[in-house]
Amino acid sequence: MDKKKQILYYLIADYLSANAAWFVYDVLRFYVIGQYLGYQSVTSFLGQSSIWGGQVLFPLFWIILYYYSGYYNNPFRKSRVHEFLVTLSSVFIGAMVIFFVFVLDDLPPVYTIYYKMIMMLIGIQFLFTYITRAMITLSVASRIYHRQWGFKTIIIGTGEKAAQLTRELNGMNRSLGHLIIGYCRTGEGTCRVDPDRVLGNIDQIDILLSSQEIQEILIAEDKSNYDNMYSILHSLFKFNLPIRIAADRYDILTGNAKMSTTYGTPMINITSISMPEWQQNIKLTGDYILSFLFLLFAAPLLLYFAWRIKRESPGPVFYKQERIGQYGKPFNIYKFRSMYINAEKENPLLAKDDDPRVTPFGKIMRKYRLDELPQFWNVLRGEMSIVGPRPERAFFVEQIIQKAPFYYTIQSVRPGITSWGMVKYGYADTVDKMVERLYFDIIYIESMSLLIDIKIIAFTIRTVITGKGI
């Protein structure tokens, strides 16, 4: 099942629907208002409409709006109710914009005609858009339900829980789309599944996922193997695949199991985040736009910092350091150099107050967190976000995992220049303090929203202005 190809189907359908909807609306608009504007025929009225507007600009506007509604994020397993509501809300917003920007210039003799025109625009656009979308969605859902389409799935676990999950999935009248390729062994317990379908051990997971072209991962571990759960999850996050855990009664009672379908097996979606899809799209676009504008307008200030750094101590202006980012992938983070060169000759060290390795101007930058400004370049490269958990070096990540094995959860999102942990806790000069700060980042991920991001940015600006960076 090709995700990009399926998204393309929706894009083409929405583009054609927008074209057809505007044509029909223009025809009806003639009979409602065209006669008052001096047009004698539908042909003459349609001739005054811009081809670029009706066939290019308006459809492009609708596709951009639909993107920010989050509709294209997940082209498979769409909820019909959610699809209806998302389509209705986005059409309402888009129709209001088009009406007040382009249609309001029409001057009917009676203002009540405006009500008729706006309702016509909303109704026609929604009807054309929703019908074509529903046809595609129903076709996809039918193929998934009847097991014609499926996502290649591997089950982590070979015990009774894995066997029970297999029976439940295969015994359903309507498939959830899990095409079970095989199982992965994690321990020495009794094998309760078909041994011929056991593909290998957990330490071979890299090879298994790539060779079998796995698209989803289900974890069904017996309680006897729960001690290994955190390490298993941490090893799986780097593959950027949907990961679900079969829920037990405790998970259901505590509300951890989320129901995504009315007839499905309750599972915990480990890789999902709480931020709505439309907010995720706005956040991503905002990261790029704000980072570009900042680097553009702050260029003179950044050049001044570069001059001060070079004047004060020999060495490069920027400091490049490898950090662990989203899905556990390493990347190079950029900072203004605030220390003397060769500050870390052996093991990595955490900076402390009155650190002798820090240059005089470096102390000023660290106090106001100005050394972090080059990381807006990391945001433009798609490696970071403006707001997100702070990335750490692999050397410290290994130590954090020993104390807090649930560290993997913060790798579900892009790391950030600033974070809730930085705002609430600040810099950490020990691993224990990094673990304490980690809890704030986990809370952030569980309650992500644009409003919280705005609050974190506001508090960060206050920190920069007041100089409470350390």
Could you read off the pLDDT of 175-184 as tens digits, one per residue?
889 999 999 9
Give the C-alpha separation, 323 to 329, whole Å: 8
C-alpha atoms less than 13 angstroms from C-alpha of 262 in its C-beta half-sphere: 3
- Give the highest mean pLDDT range of 48-57, 118-127, 415-424: 118-127
Give the C-alpha separation, 137 to 130, whole Å: 10
What are the tokens at 195? 């041994």
What does the pLDDT look like over 331-353, one tens digit per residue? 999 999 988 887 666 666 666 66
Residue 95: beta bridge partners? none
Residue 200: beta bridge partners? 184
pLDDT confidence bin for 250, thresholds 50/70/90: very low
* Residues contacting 304, CB < 8 A, separation 6+: none
pLDDT at 406: 81
Give the alpha-carbon dihedral of 73, 75, 76, 78, to 10 degrees.
80
What does the pLDDT look like over 210-232, one tens digit per residue? 999 999 999 988 776 666 777 88
pLDDT at 454 over 60: yes
- The alpha carbons of the chain give a radius of gyration, in whole angstroms, of 28
Give the C-alpha separation, 30 to 49, whole Å: 11
pLDDT confidence bin for 137, thresholds 50/70/90: very high
What does the pLDDT look like over 82-111, one tens digit per residue? 999 999 999 999 999 998 888 777 666 677
Give the domains, in start order, of the chain with CATH numbers.
3-145 (no CATH), 151-269 (3.40.50.720), 277-466 (no CATH)
pLDDT at 5 over 80: yes
- The DSSP 8-state label assigned to residue 391 in this structure reads P
- Alpha-carbon dihedral sign for residues 219, 224, 225, 229: positive
pLDDT at 19 over 80: yes
Alpha helices in 99-204 (DSSP H): 112-145, 160-171
What is this structure's pTM? Answer: 0.86
pLDDT at 421: 85
Amino acid (one-letter) located at 280: Q
Give the C-alpha separation, 345 to 342, whole Å: 6
Amino acid (one-letter) located at 18: A
Report, as an integer, the average pLDDT of 131-160.
93
Strands 178-185 and 385-387: unpaired
Q: Percent of the chain, pLDDT > 70?
A: 86
Mean pLDDT for the chain overall: 86
Element holding 66 (H helix, E strand)? helix 58-68
- Give the highest mean pLDDT range of 32-46, 272-286, 355-369: 272-286
Element holding 319 (H helix, E strand)? strand 318-324
